[in-house]
Amino acid sequence: MPTVTPDVKYEKGLVAAGSEICSEIGRDMLKRKGSAVDAAIAALLCVSVVNPHSMGIGGGVVFTIYNASTGRVETIDARETAPMSASNNMIENESKPGLLIAVPGELRGYELAHKRHGRLKWKELFEPSIKLAFDGFKIDSALAKAIQKNKNTILGKKSLCDVFCHPNNTTLRENDTIRFPKLAATYCRIAEEGANIFYSGSLTQTIVDDIKAEGGNITHQDLKDYEPALNESALNFTVGKYMYFVPGAPFGGPLLALMLKILNGYGMSSSNMSTDGNKILTYHRIIETFRFASQVEGELIEQHPDHVNAFVQNMISDDYAAAFIRNPMKDDTNKQLSNKEEHILCKDAGTSHLSVIADDGSAVAVTSSINRHFGSKVISQSTGIIFNDQLCDFRYAHLIKPGRKPPSSMSPTIILDKGKPKNEQVKMVVGASGGRIITSATVQVILNYLFFGYNLQKAIKEPRVHSQLNPDKTFVEDHFEEDIKKHLKKYYNIVDVDSTGNPNVNERPPVFLGKVQAVVRQGEKICAESDPRKGGHIPLDTDDYCRDCSE
Protein backbone atom coordinates (compact mmCIF):
# COMPACT_ATOMS: atom_id res chain seq x y z
CA MET A 1 0.00 0.00 0.00
CA PRO A 2 1.67 3.24 -1.12
CA THR A 3 2.35 6.11 1.22
CA VAL A 4 1.58 9.69 0.28
CA THR A 5 3.94 12.29 1.68
CA PRO A 6 3.51 16.06 1.76
CA ASP A 7 6.47 16.84 -0.46
CA VAL A 8 5.32 14.98 -3.58
CA LYS A 9 2.40 15.47 -5.93
CA TYR A 10 -0.15 12.67 -5.69
CA GLU A 11 -1.18 11.96 -9.26
CA LYS A 12 -3.92 9.36 -8.97
CA GLY A 13 -6.59 11.45 -7.28
CA LEU A 14 -8.46 10.66 -4.09
CA VAL A 15 -11.96 9.54 -3.12
CA ALA A 16 -13.68 10.23 0.20
CA ALA A 17 -16.59 7.80 0.43
CA GLY A 18 -17.21 7.41 4.17
CA SER A 19 -15.97 3.81 3.95
CA GLU A 20 -12.34 2.81 3.66
CA ILE A 21 -13.00 -0.09 1.31
CA CYS A 22 -15.25 2.04 -0.94
CA SER A 23 -12.76 4.91 -1.01
CA GLU A 24 -10.14 2.37 -2.09
CA ILE A 25 -12.41 0.90 -4.80
CA GLY A 26 -13.03 4.37 -6.22
CA ARG A 27 -9.34 5.15 -6.10
CA ASP A 28 -8.56 1.89 -7.89
CA MET A 29 -10.76 3.04 -10.79
CA LEU A 30 -8.65 6.19 -11.02
CA LYS A 31 -5.49 4.07 -11.08
CA ARG A 32 -6.99 2.15 -14.02
CA LYS A 33 -7.20 5.48 -15.89
CA GLY A 34 -10.88 5.79 -15.16
CA SER A 35 -12.60 9.17 -14.92
CA ALA A 36 -13.81 10.91 -11.77
CA VAL A 37 -17.31 9.73 -12.67
CA ASP A 38 -16.09 6.11 -13.04
CA ALA A 39 -14.56 6.33 -9.57
CA ALA A 40 -17.73 7.86 -8.13
CA ILE A 41 -20.07 5.22 -9.57
CA ALA A 42 -17.85 2.32 -8.48
CA ALA A 43 -17.60 3.77 -4.98
CA LEU A 44 -21.37 4.36 -4.83
CA LEU A 45 -22.04 0.77 -5.80
CA CYS A 46 -19.68 -0.31 -3.03
CA VAL A 47 -21.41 1.90 -0.45
CA SER A 48 -24.76 0.42 -1.47
CA VAL A 49 -23.37 -2.97 -0.45
CA VAL A 50 -21.37 -1.97 2.64
CA ASN A 51 -23.97 0.47 4.00
CA PRO A 52 -27.27 -0.71 2.44
CA HIS A 53 -29.23 1.14 5.10
CA SER A 54 -28.11 4.46 3.56
CA MET A 55 -28.41 4.14 -0.21
CA GLY A 56 -28.81 1.80 -3.14
CA ILE A 57 -30.28 1.34 -6.59
CA GLY A 58 -33.76 1.45 -5.05
CA GLY A 59 -33.20 5.16 -4.29
CA GLY A 60 -32.12 8.37 -5.97
CA VAL A 61 -28.94 10.37 -6.58
CA VAL A 62 -27.68 13.83 -7.56
CA PHE A 63 -24.29 14.50 -9.17
CA THR A 64 -22.31 17.73 -9.43
CA ILE A 65 -19.58 17.13 -12.05
CA TYR A 66 -16.60 19.29 -13.06
CA ASN A 67 -15.01 18.46 -16.43
CA ALA A 68 -11.41 19.70 -16.39
CA SER A 69 -11.09 19.46 -20.17
CA THR A 70 -13.89 22.00 -20.72
CA GLY A 71 -13.89 23.85 -17.41
CA ARG A 72 -17.66 23.37 -17.16
CA VAL A 73 -19.76 22.14 -14.24
CA GLU A 74 -23.05 20.27 -14.67
CA THR A 75 -25.54 18.53 -12.44
CA ILE A 76 -27.49 15.33 -12.98
CA ASP A 77 -30.70 15.10 -10.98
CA ALA A 78 -31.80 11.49 -10.63
CA ARG A 79 -33.98 12.12 -7.59
CA GLU A 80 -36.96 9.80 -7.15
CA THR A 81 -40.34 10.98 -8.42
CA ALA A 82 -43.86 10.43 -7.15
CA PRO A 83 -45.66 7.76 -9.24
CA MET A 84 -48.49 8.82 -11.53
CA SER A 85 -51.01 7.43 -9.06
CA ALA A 86 -49.69 9.64 -6.22
CA SER A 87 -52.15 11.56 -4.07
CA ASN A 88 -51.86 13.65 -0.93
CA ASN A 89 -53.42 11.00 1.30
CA MET A 90 -51.53 7.95 0.08
CA ILE A 91 -48.79 8.10 2.73
CA GLU A 92 -51.13 7.94 5.70
CA ASN A 93 -51.56 4.17 5.53
CA GLU A 94 -48.63 2.82 7.57
CA SER A 95 -49.78 -0.77 6.96
CA LYS A 96 -48.74 -0.37 3.31
CA PRO A 97 -45.05 0.61 3.26
CA GLY A 98 -45.01 0.21 -0.50
CA LEU A 99 -47.07 3.40 -0.78
CA LEU A 100 -44.07 5.39 0.49
CA ILE A 101 -41.89 4.26 -2.42
CA ALA A 102 -41.12 6.83 -5.11
CA VAL A 103 -39.90 5.82 -8.57
CA PRO A 104 -36.15 5.08 -8.15
CA GLY A 105 -33.74 7.15 -10.26
CA GLU A 106 -30.35 5.91 -9.08
CA LEU A 107 -29.41 3.69 -12.02
CA ARG A 108 -30.60 6.17 -14.62
CA GLY A 109 -28.36 8.74 -12.92
CA TYR A 110 -25.36 6.42 -13.12
CA GLU A 111 -26.15 5.64 -16.74
CA LEU A 112 -26.31 9.28 -17.83
CA ALA A 113 -23.18 10.28 -15.89
CA HIS A 114 -21.26 7.34 -17.38
CA LYS A 115 -22.43 8.05 -20.93
CA ARG A 116 -21.25 11.63 -20.65
CA HIS A 117 -18.02 11.21 -18.69
CA GLY A 118 -17.10 7.53 -18.32
CA ARG A 119 -13.87 6.05 -19.65
CA LEU A 120 -14.03 2.51 -18.30
CA LYS A 121 -16.60 -0.04 -19.42
CA TRP A 122 -19.92 0.02 -17.54
CA LYS A 123 -19.40 -3.60 -16.53
CA GLU A 124 -16.03 -2.84 -14.97
CA LEU A 125 -17.59 -0.42 -12.48
CA PHE A 126 -19.76 -3.18 -10.99
CA GLU A 127 -17.12 -5.88 -10.62
CA PRO A 128 -15.67 -4.91 -7.18
CA SER A 129 -19.12 -4.62 -5.59
CA ILE A 130 -20.33 -7.87 -7.13
CA LYS A 131 -17.37 -9.66 -5.58
CA LEU A 132 -17.92 -7.89 -2.25
CA ALA A 133 -21.60 -8.84 -2.16
CA PHE A 134 -20.96 -12.48 -3.17
CA ASP A 135 -17.94 -13.10 -0.91
CA GLY A 136 -19.22 -11.12 2.05
CA PHE A 137 -17.51 -8.65 4.38
CA LYS A 138 -17.39 -7.73 8.05
CA ILE A 139 -20.11 -5.33 9.14
CA ASP A 140 -18.77 -1.88 10.01
CA SER A 141 -19.95 0.35 12.85
CA ALA A 142 -22.35 2.39 10.69
CA LEU A 143 -24.31 -0.62 9.45
CA ALA A 144 -24.17 -2.28 12.87
CA LYS A 145 -25.73 0.79 14.51
CA ALA A 146 -28.43 0.96 11.85
CA ILE A 147 -29.29 -2.71 12.35
CA GLN A 148 -29.44 -2.27 16.12
CA LYS A 149 -31.58 0.87 15.83
CA ASN A 150 -34.05 -0.97 13.58
CA LYS A 151 -33.79 -4.28 15.42
CA ASN A 152 -37.50 -4.71 16.14
CA THR A 153 -38.48 -3.94 12.57
CA ILE A 154 -35.90 -6.35 11.18
CA LEU A 155 -36.92 -9.14 13.55
CA GLY A 156 -40.57 -8.59 12.68
CA LYS A 157 -40.09 -8.77 8.92
CA LYS A 158 -38.85 -12.07 7.49
CA SER A 159 -37.52 -10.58 4.27
CA LEU A 160 -35.23 -8.26 6.26
CA CYS A 161 -34.30 -10.86 8.86
CA ASP A 162 -33.26 -13.29 6.12
CA VAL A 163 -30.49 -10.81 5.27
CA PHE A 164 -29.67 -9.04 8.54
CA CYS A 165 -30.13 -11.88 11.06
CA HIS A 166 -28.27 -15.00 12.12
CA PRO A 167 -29.98 -18.36 11.48
CA ASN A 168 -31.21 -18.30 15.10
CA ASN A 169 -33.09 -15.03 14.37
CA THR A 170 -30.78 -12.71 16.29
CA THR A 171 -29.64 -9.61 14.45
CA LEU A 172 -26.13 -9.34 13.06
CA ARG A 173 -23.58 -7.21 14.90
CA GLU A 174 -20.40 -5.31 14.15
CA ASN A 175 -17.65 -7.54 12.68
CA ASP A 176 -20.13 -10.30 11.80
CA THR A 177 -19.87 -11.39 8.17
CA ILE A 178 -22.75 -10.49 5.88
CA ARG A 179 -23.39 -11.46 2.25
CA PHE A 180 -25.83 -10.25 -0.40
CA PRO A 181 -25.94 -13.02 -3.03
CA LYS A 182 -29.28 -11.89 -4.56
CA LEU A 183 -28.11 -8.30 -4.89
CA ALA A 184 -24.83 -9.54 -6.37
CA ALA A 185 -26.74 -11.54 -8.97
CA THR A 186 -28.85 -8.46 -9.78
CA TYR A 187 -25.71 -6.36 -10.19
CA CYS A 188 -24.31 -9.01 -12.54
CA ARG A 189 -27.36 -8.68 -14.77
CA ILE A 190 -27.28 -4.88 -14.72
CA ALA A 191 -23.55 -4.93 -15.46
CA GLU A 192 -24.16 -7.10 -18.53
CA GLU A 193 -27.40 -5.58 -19.82
CA GLY A 194 -27.34 -1.96 -18.61
CA ALA A 195 -29.83 0.18 -16.70
CA ASN A 196 -32.70 -0.62 -19.09
CA ILE A 197 -33.04 -4.02 -17.45
CA PHE A 198 -34.36 -2.18 -14.37
CA TYR A 199 -36.66 0.29 -16.12
CA SER A 200 -37.95 -1.50 -19.20
CA GLY A 201 -36.44 -4.95 -19.21
CA SER A 202 -36.50 -8.35 -17.59
CA LEU A 203 -36.29 -6.99 -14.01
CA THR A 204 -39.08 -4.43 -14.40
CA GLN A 205 -42.09 -6.65 -13.78
CA THR A 206 -40.34 -8.25 -10.80
CA ILE A 207 -39.76 -4.80 -9.29
CA VAL A 208 -43.39 -3.78 -9.90
CA ASP A 209 -44.64 -7.02 -8.32
CA ASP A 210 -42.36 -6.66 -5.27
CA ILE A 211 -43.62 -3.12 -4.61
CA LYS A 212 -47.26 -4.08 -5.23
CA ALA A 213 -46.96 -6.93 -2.73
CA GLU A 214 -46.18 -4.31 -0.06
CA GLY A 215 -49.16 -2.14 -0.95
CA GLY A 216 -47.39 0.14 -3.42
CA ASN A 217 -48.68 1.24 -6.78
CA ILE A 218 -45.64 1.99 -8.96
CA THR A 219 -46.37 0.71 -12.44
CA HIS A 220 -44.36 -0.59 -15.36
CA GLN A 221 -45.09 2.73 -17.10
CA ASP A 222 -43.76 4.76 -14.14
CA LEU A 223 -40.42 3.00 -14.45
CA LYS A 224 -40.32 3.17 -18.22
CA ASP A 225 -41.03 6.91 -18.23
CA TYR A 226 -38.39 7.86 -15.65
CA GLU A 227 -35.73 10.26 -16.96
CA PRO A 228 -32.96 12.05 -15.03
CA ALA A 229 -32.62 15.81 -15.46
CA LEU A 230 -29.36 17.18 -16.88
CA ASN A 231 -28.39 20.79 -16.18
CA GLU A 232 -25.30 21.62 -18.20
CA SER A 233 -24.89 24.90 -16.31
CA ALA A 234 -25.01 24.12 -12.60
CA LEU A 235 -26.35 26.70 -10.17
CA ASN A 236 -23.34 28.82 -9.24
CA PHE A 237 -22.47 31.75 -7.03
CA THR A 238 -19.34 33.54 -5.82
CA VAL A 239 -18.31 33.94 -2.20
CA GLY A 240 -14.93 35.51 -1.54
CA LYS A 241 -12.39 34.45 -4.15
CA TYR A 242 -14.05 31.15 -5.03
CA MET A 243 -16.93 30.09 -7.27
CA TYR A 244 -19.35 27.50 -5.89
CA PHE A 245 -21.38 25.02 -7.95
CA VAL A 246 -24.38 23.18 -6.50
CA PRO A 247 -27.62 21.52 -7.65
CA GLY A 248 -30.61 23.85 -7.68
CA ALA A 249 -34.12 23.21 -6.36
CA PRO A 250 -35.49 20.82 -5.21
CA PHE A 251 -32.07 20.21 -3.62
CA GLY A 252 -30.27 22.09 -0.85
CA GLY A 253 -27.90 24.06 -3.09
CA PRO A 254 -29.90 27.32 -2.97
CA LEU A 255 -30.09 27.15 0.83
CA LEU A 256 -26.34 26.53 1.09
CA ALA A 257 -25.73 29.53 -1.19
CA LEU A 258 -27.94 31.76 0.97
CA MET A 259 -26.18 30.71 4.18
CA LEU A 260 -22.72 31.41 2.76
CA LYS A 261 -23.83 34.75 1.28
CA ILE A 262 -25.18 35.88 4.65
CA LEU A 263 -22.08 34.85 6.58
CA ASN A 264 -19.68 36.25 3.99
CA GLY A 265 -21.10 39.70 4.71
CA TYR A 266 -19.56 39.49 8.17
CA GLY A 267 -16.06 39.15 6.73
CA MET A 268 -15.42 35.63 7.98
CA SER A 269 -11.71 34.86 8.52
CA SER A 270 -9.33 33.14 10.95
CA SER A 271 -9.82 36.06 13.36
CA ASN A 272 -13.36 34.81 13.99
CA MET A 273 -11.88 31.93 15.97
CA SER A 274 -9.00 33.86 17.59
CA THR A 275 -10.64 34.69 20.95
CA ASP A 276 -13.56 33.41 23.02
CA GLY A 277 -15.41 36.65 22.41
CA ASN A 278 -14.99 36.34 18.67
CA LYS A 279 -16.11 32.71 18.74
CA ILE A 280 -19.24 33.56 20.72
CA LEU A 281 -20.20 36.28 18.25
CA THR A 282 -19.40 34.07 15.25
CA TYR A 283 -21.49 31.12 16.44
CA HIS A 284 -24.32 33.48 17.32
CA ARG A 285 -24.26 34.73 13.73
CA ILE A 286 -24.01 31.21 12.35
CA ILE A 287 -27.03 30.05 14.37
CA GLU A 288 -29.07 33.10 13.39
CA THR A 289 -28.15 32.45 9.75
CA PHE A 290 -29.40 28.87 10.02
CA ARG A 291 -32.67 30.03 11.59
CA PHE A 292 -33.33 32.70 8.96
CA ALA A 293 -32.43 30.23 6.22
CA SER A 294 -34.90 27.74 7.70
CA GLN A 295 -37.65 30.32 7.25
CA VAL A 296 -36.67 30.94 3.62
CA GLU A 297 -36.52 27.18 3.03
CA GLY A 298 -40.19 26.94 3.97
CA GLU A 299 -41.02 29.60 1.38
CA LEU A 300 -38.89 27.84 -1.25
CA ILE A 301 -40.65 24.52 -0.75
CA GLU A 302 -44.02 26.19 -1.36
CA GLN A 303 -42.99 27.70 -4.71
CA HIS A 304 -44.82 26.55 -7.81
CA PRO A 305 -42.44 24.77 -10.21
CA ASP A 306 -42.96 27.53 -12.79
CA HIS A 307 -41.73 30.18 -10.34
CA VAL A 308 -39.03 28.35 -8.41
CA ASN A 309 -36.07 29.38 -10.60
CA ALA A 310 -36.86 33.09 -10.24
CA PHE A 311 -37.27 32.64 -6.48
CA VAL A 312 -33.89 30.87 -6.25
CA GLN A 313 -32.06 33.57 -8.24
CA ASN A 314 -33.43 36.20 -5.89
CA MET A 315 -32.66 34.28 -2.69
CA ILE A 316 -29.01 33.68 -3.60
CA SER A 317 -28.34 37.31 -4.54
CA ASP A 318 -26.03 39.51 -2.47
CA ASP A 319 -28.81 42.12 -2.07
CA TYR A 320 -31.26 39.58 -0.63
CA ALA A 321 -28.69 38.25 1.85
CA ALA A 322 -27.87 41.79 3.00
CA ALA A 323 -31.19 43.62 2.99
CA PHE A 324 -33.66 40.90 3.93
CA ILE A 325 -31.53 38.68 6.19
CA ARG A 326 -28.35 40.21 7.55
CA ASN A 327 -29.76 43.68 8.29
CA PRO A 328 -32.59 42.38 10.54
CA MET A 329 -30.17 40.08 12.39
CA LYS A 330 -28.86 41.37 15.72
CA ASP A 331 -25.63 40.46 17.50
CA ASP A 332 -27.13 40.75 20.98
CA THR A 333 -30.38 38.85 20.61
CA ASN A 334 -32.18 36.26 18.51
CA LYS A 335 -34.98 37.47 16.29
CA GLN A 336 -38.39 35.90 16.66
CA LEU A 337 -39.24 34.34 13.32
CA SER A 338 -42.50 33.02 11.97
CA ASN A 339 -42.59 29.56 10.52
CA LYS A 340 -45.34 27.45 9.06
CA GLU A 341 -46.10 24.42 11.16
CA GLU A 342 -44.93 21.26 9.45
CA HIS A 343 -46.10 17.69 9.65
CA ILE A 344 -42.84 15.79 9.58
CA LEU A 345 -43.79 12.41 8.20
CA CYS A 346 -40.57 10.64 9.07
CA LYS A 347 -37.02 11.45 10.11
CA ASP A 348 -34.62 10.99 7.20
CA ALA A 349 -31.36 9.18 7.87
CA GLY A 350 -30.55 6.95 4.90
CA THR A 351 -28.13 9.05 2.84
CA SER A 352 -24.50 8.82 1.68
CA HIS A 353 -22.16 11.35 0.12
CA LEU A 354 -18.81 10.94 -1.60
CA SER A 355 -16.29 13.35 -3.12
CA VAL A 356 -13.70 12.76 -5.86
CA ILE A 357 -10.81 14.67 -7.42
CA ALA A 358 -9.18 12.79 -10.31
CA ASP A 359 -5.64 13.03 -11.60
CA ASP A 360 -6.70 15.18 -14.59
CA GLY A 361 -8.29 17.77 -12.29
CA SER A 362 -11.89 16.66 -12.90
CA ALA A 363 -14.13 16.26 -9.88
CA VAL A 364 -17.41 14.77 -8.70
CA ALA A 365 -19.55 15.54 -5.67
CA VAL A 366 -22.43 13.09 -5.40
CA THR A 367 -25.10 12.38 -2.80
CA SER A 368 -27.42 9.37 -2.82
CA SER A 369 -30.33 8.44 -0.59
CA ILE A 370 -33.09 5.98 0.18
CA ASN A 371 -34.37 8.41 2.89
CA ARG A 372 -34.73 6.60 6.22
CA HIS A 373 -32.54 3.73 7.40
CA PHE A 374 -33.37 0.81 5.10
CA GLY A 375 -35.76 3.09 3.22
CA SER A 376 -39.32 1.78 3.19
CA LYS A 377 -38.12 -1.46 4.85
CA VAL A 378 -39.24 -3.17 1.65
CA ILE A 379 -36.56 -5.52 0.32
CA SER A 380 -37.07 -7.56 -2.79
CA GLN A 381 -36.68 -11.26 -2.01
CA SER A 382 -35.82 -11.99 -5.64
CA THR A 383 -33.40 -9.14 -6.44
CA GLY A 384 -32.08 -8.05 -3.02
CA ILE A 385 -32.96 -4.39 -3.76
CA ILE A 386 -34.00 -2.21 -0.82
CA PHE A 387 -36.55 0.40 -1.90
CA ASN A 388 -36.74 4.03 -0.76
CA ASP A 389 -39.50 5.78 1.13
CA GLN A 390 -38.90 9.22 -0.39
CA LEU A 391 -42.55 10.21 -0.45
CA CYS A 392 -41.98 10.94 3.25
CA ASP A 393 -39.79 13.84 2.13
CA PHE A 394 -42.76 15.91 0.97
CA ARG A 395 -42.96 18.34 3.87
CA TYR A 396 -46.64 19.13 3.27
CA ALA A 397 -49.17 16.60 2.01
CA HIS A 398 -50.69 19.01 -0.52
CA LEU A 399 -47.35 19.12 -2.38
CA ILE A 400 -47.55 15.46 -3.37
CA LYS A 401 -48.31 15.43 -7.09
CA PRO A 402 -47.77 12.78 -9.79
CA GLY A 403 -44.29 13.06 -11.26
CA ARG A 404 -43.10 15.64 -8.72
CA LYS A 405 -39.80 15.29 -6.86
CA PRO A 406 -39.82 15.84 -3.09
CA PRO A 407 -37.59 18.58 -1.63
CA SER A 408 -34.15 17.52 -0.45
CA SER A 409 -31.28 19.02 1.54
CA MET A 410 -28.67 17.14 -0.51
CA SER A 411 -25.96 19.64 -1.50
CA PRO A 412 -23.02 18.06 -3.37
CA THR A 413 -20.71 21.06 -3.84
CA ILE A 414 -17.70 21.77 -6.05
CA ILE A 415 -15.67 24.91 -5.30
CA LEU A 416 -13.40 26.34 -8.00
CA ASP A 417 -10.55 28.82 -8.06
CA LYS A 418 -11.20 30.30 -11.52
CA GLY A 419 -7.80 31.98 -11.54
CA LYS A 420 -6.05 28.63 -11.94
CA PRO A 421 -5.58 26.46 -15.05
CA LYS A 422 -8.56 24.18 -15.72
CA ASN A 423 -6.78 21.07 -14.40
CA GLU A 424 -6.02 22.84 -11.11
CA GLN A 425 -9.21 24.86 -10.58
CA VAL A 426 -10.91 22.50 -8.12
CA LYS A 427 -10.25 23.80 -4.62
CA MET A 428 -12.75 21.70 -2.66
CA VAL A 429 -15.28 18.94 -3.29
CA VAL A 430 -17.62 18.54 -0.32
CA GLY A 431 -21.04 17.33 0.77
CA ALA A 432 -22.80 15.53 3.58
CA SER A 433 -25.46 13.10 4.70
CA GLY A 434 -27.87 13.74 7.54
CA GLY A 435 -31.23 14.88 6.23
CA ARG A 436 -32.07 18.53 6.98
CA ILE A 437 -28.68 18.93 8.68
CA ILE A 438 -26.81 18.43 5.39
CA THR A 439 -26.63 22.12 4.47
CA SER A 440 -25.60 23.38 7.91
CA ALA A 441 -22.92 20.69 8.25
CA THR A 442 -21.51 21.41 4.79
CA VAL A 443 -21.46 25.16 5.43
CA GLN A 444 -19.55 24.72 8.68
CA VAL A 445 -16.88 22.53 7.09
CA ILE A 446 -16.48 25.07 4.27
CA LEU A 447 -16.14 27.87 6.83
CA ASN A 448 -13.66 25.87 8.88
CA TYR A 449 -11.43 25.06 5.92
CA LEU A 450 -11.67 28.04 3.55
CA PHE A 451 -12.34 30.87 6.00
CA PHE A 452 -11.10 29.91 9.48
CA GLY A 453 -7.88 28.29 8.22
CA TYR A 454 -8.33 24.85 9.79
CA ASN A 455 -6.66 21.90 8.12
CA LEU A 456 -9.12 19.51 6.47
CA GLN A 457 -9.05 16.94 9.23
CA LYS A 458 -9.85 19.52 11.91
CA ALA A 459 -12.40 21.20 9.65
CA ILE A 460 -14.44 17.99 9.53
CA LYS A 461 -13.88 16.78 13.10
CA GLU A 462 -14.67 20.12 14.77
CA PRO A 463 -17.91 19.95 16.86
CA ARG A 464 -20.85 21.39 14.95
CA VAL A 465 -24.11 23.18 15.65
CA HIS A 466 -27.43 23.07 13.84
CA SER A 467 -30.48 25.27 14.23
CA GLN A 468 -33.88 25.44 12.54
CA LEU A 469 -37.35 26.78 13.23
CA ASN A 470 -39.37 23.59 13.32
CA PRO A 471 -38.64 22.50 15.94
CA ASP A 472 -37.16 25.82 17.13
CA LYS A 473 -34.10 24.23 18.71
CA THR A 474 -30.34 24.56 18.45
CA PHE A 475 -28.45 21.27 18.56
CA VAL A 476 -24.86 21.23 19.78
CA GLU A 477 -22.44 18.33 19.49
CA ASP A 478 -20.38 16.85 22.29
CA HIS A 479 -17.05 18.58 23.05
CA PHE A 480 -18.37 21.95 21.90
CA GLU A 481 -16.68 24.59 24.07
CA GLU A 482 -18.65 24.95 27.30
CA ASP A 483 -18.08 28.70 27.76
CA ILE A 484 -19.45 29.39 24.28
CA LYS A 485 -22.38 27.06 24.79
CA LYS A 486 -23.18 28.70 28.13
CA HIS A 487 -23.44 32.07 26.41
CA LEU A 488 -25.57 30.68 23.56
CA LYS A 489 -28.05 29.27 26.07
CA LYS A 490 -29.05 32.86 26.88
CA TYR A 491 -30.62 33.11 23.45
CA TYR A 492 -31.38 29.61 22.19
CA ASN A 493 -33.08 26.41 23.23
CA ILE A 494 -29.91 24.30 23.31
CA VAL A 495 -30.15 20.52 22.94
CA ASP A 496 -26.95 18.58 23.57
CA VAL A 497 -25.89 15.61 21.46
CA ASP A 498 -23.28 13.48 23.21
CA SER A 499 -20.49 11.48 21.58
CA THR A 500 -22.69 8.38 21.18
CA GLY A 501 -25.43 10.37 19.52
CA ASN A 502 -27.76 10.18 22.53
CA PRO A 503 -29.56 13.16 24.04
CA ASN A 504 -28.39 14.51 27.40
CA VAL A 505 -31.85 15.95 28.00
CA ASN A 506 -35.32 14.64 27.44
CA GLU A 507 -35.26 15.37 23.71
CA ARG A 508 -34.65 13.39 20.54
CA PRO A 509 -31.92 15.15 18.59
CA PRO A 510 -30.28 13.75 15.47
CA VAL A 511 -27.66 11.05 15.96
CA PHE A 512 -24.91 13.36 14.71
CA LEU A 513 -24.93 16.77 13.12
CA GLY A 514 -24.20 15.52 9.63
CA LYS A 515 -21.46 13.35 8.17
CA VAL A 516 -19.20 15.18 5.73
CA GLN A 517 -16.84 13.75 3.09
CA ALA A 518 -14.41 16.13 1.39
CA VAL A 519 -11.44 16.24 -0.96
CA VAL A 520 -9.36 19.41 -1.38
CA ARG A 521 -6.46 20.68 -3.46
CA GLN A 522 -3.77 22.53 -1.55
CA GLY A 523 -1.12 23.61 -4.00
CA GLU A 524 0.21 20.41 -5.53
CA LYS A 525 -1.26 18.30 -2.75
CA ILE A 526 -4.61 16.53 -2.76
CA CYS A 527 -6.14 15.64 0.62
CA ALA A 528 -9.23 13.61 1.48
CA GLU A 529 -11.11 13.14 4.74
CA SER A 530 -14.11 10.99 5.62
CA ASP A 531 -16.14 11.98 8.65
CA PRO A 532 -15.38 9.90 11.76
CA ARG A 533 -19.01 10.43 12.80
CA LYS A 534 -19.82 7.71 10.27
CA GLY A 535 -16.81 5.62 11.17
CA GLY A 536 -15.08 6.82 8.02
CA HIS A 537 -11.40 7.31 7.35
CA ILE A 538 -9.30 7.41 4.25
CA PRO A 539 -7.06 4.46 3.32
CA LEU A 540 -3.32 4.91 2.78
CA ASP A 541 -1.10 6.66 5.30
CA THR A 542 -2.69 10.05 4.73
CA ASP A 543 -3.28 11.36 8.26
CA ASP A 544 -0.10 13.41 8.48
CA TYR A 545 -0.49 14.40 4.83
CA CYS A 546 -3.95 15.81 5.41
CA ARG A 547 -2.97 17.56 8.61
CA ASP A 548 -0.37 19.40 6.54
CA CYS A 549 -3.06 20.65 4.14
CA SER A 550 -4.06 23.91 5.80
CA GLU A 551 -4.52 27.39 4.49
pLDDT of residue 493: 87
Averaged pLDDT of the chain: 89
CA–CA dist 425, 285 (Å, integer):
30
Q: Is residue 226 part of a domain?
A: yes
| Strand, helix or coil for residue 520 | strand
Q: Is residue 115 part of a domain?
A: yes
Torsions phi, psi for 127 (to 5 deg): -55, -45
Whether 545 has a pLDDT exceeding 50, the answer reads no
Residue pLDDT, tens place only, 217-267: 999 999 999 999 999 999 999 999 999 999 999 999 999 999 999 999 999
The stretch 491-499 carries a mean pLDDT of 81
Q: Is residue 449 part of a domain?
A: no
Strand order of the β-sheet with 14-16 is 14-16, 350-357, 363-371, 60-67, 72-78, 229-231
Q: Which residue has the higher pLDDT, 474 or 336?
A: 474
pLDDT of residue 502: 46
pLDDT of residue 349: 59
Q: Is residue 48 part of a domain?
A: yes
Tell whether residue 240 is among the known ligand binding residues: no
DSSP string for residues in 314-382: HHTSHHIIIIIIITT--TTS----------------EEEEEEEE-TTS-EEEEEEEEESTTTTSEE-TT
Of 143-147, 308-312, 542-546, the one with minimum mean pLDDT is 542-546
Tell whether residue 274 is among the known ligand binding residues: no
Residue pLDDT, tens place only, 255-298: 999 999 999 999 999 999 999 999 999 999 999 999 999 989 98
Percent with pLDDT over 90 in the chain = 75
Tell whether residue 271 is among the known ligand binding residues: no
Q: Is residue 288 part of a domain?
A: no
Total domains in the fold of the chain: 1
The stretch 479-504 carries a mean pLDDT of 79
Q: Is residue 384 part of a domain?
A: yes
Domain that holds residue 26: 14-231+349-399
Q: Is residue 148 part of a domain?
A: yes
pLDDT of residue 512: 78
Indicate the pTM of the whole model: 0.93
Tell whether residue 369 is among the known ligand binding residues: yes
pLDDT of residue 363: 98
Residue pLDDT, tens place only, 337-394: 655 555 554 555 569 999 999 999 999 999 999 999 999 999 999 999 999 999 988 8
Q: Which residues are catalytic?
A: 351
SS (H, E, C) 10-68: CCCCEEECCCHHHHHHHHHHHHCCCCHHHHHHHHHHHHHHHCCCCCCCCCEEEEEEEEC
- Confidence band, pLDDT 50/70/90 cuts, at residue 117: very high
Q: Is residue 296 part of a domain?
A: no
Residue pLDDT, tens place only, 287-346: 999 999 998 998 998 888 889 999 999 999 999 988 888 888 888 766 666 555 555 545
